[in-house]
Amino acid sequence: MGLFDTIASQAEGFAVGQLKAVVPPKIITGVTAGSNVLNQLASGNFLGAAATLANSFARQFGIGQDVATQLYFQNTPTPLFGGVTPAEAKQIYSAMAAMQIAKKNLFLVEVRDVDPQSTLFTTGPYAIYAPGNRAFNMFVTDLDYAPATISGDKHRIGSASMDSVGGFEPIEMRMTAIDDVIGTIKTWMQYKCSLVTNADGTVGVPFDYLLKIRVLHSFITDASNQGGYEDEYIMRPVSVSSSLSRREDAIQEVQLAFTQFDTFIS
Domain residue extents for the chain:
3-97, 107-260
pLDDT at 49 over 70: no
Mean pLDDT value of segment 234-258: 94
Q: Which of 43-52, 148-157, 166-175, 211-220 has the lowest mean pLDDT?
A: 43-52
pLDDT at 7 over 80: no
Coil/strand/helix, residue 141: strand
Q: Which of 51-65, 93-107, 140-154, 246-260 has the lowest mean pLDDT?
A: 51-65
Report the share of the chain in percent with pLDDT over 90: 42
The answer to whether residues 116 and 210 touch, using CB atoms and an 8 Å cutoff, is no
d(CA 162, CA 124) in angstroms, rounded, equals: 58
The C-alpha torsion from 17 through 21 and 22 to 24, rounded to 10°, is 100
C-alpha distances in Å from residue 56, one per residue of 50, 64, 71, 226:
10, 11, 14, 46
For residue 8, the model assigns a pLDDT of 46
208 confidence band (pLDDT: 50, 70, 90)? very high
Averaged confidence pLDDT in the chain: 80
pLDDT at 256 over 90: yes
Q: Does domain 107-260 have CATH number 2.30.110?
A: yes
pLDDT at 172 over 60: yes
The two most distant CA atoms of the chain are separated, in Å, by: 108
pLDDT tens, position by position, 75-118: 788 787 788 888 888 888 888 888 888 899 999 999 999 988 88
For residue 42, the model assigns a pLDDT of 61
For residue 59, the model assigns a pLDDT of 47
pLDDT tens, position by position, 55-84: 655 545 555 555 666 777 777 887 877 888
C-alpha distances in Å from residue 15, one per residue of 45, 56, 96:
9, 19, 34
Q: Is the pLDDT higher at 200 or at 36?
A: 200
For residue 246, the model assigns a pLDDT of 94
d(CA 142, CA 178) in angstroms, rounded, equals: 10
For residue 4, the model assigns a pLDDT of 41
d(CA 140, CA 45) in angstroms, rounded, equals: 67
pLDDT tens, position by position, 119-141: 788 877 778 887 776 788 989 99
d(CA 189, CA 257) in angstroms, rounded, equals: 10
Q: At what angle do helices 46-56 and 67-74 cross, to 10 degrees?
A: 120
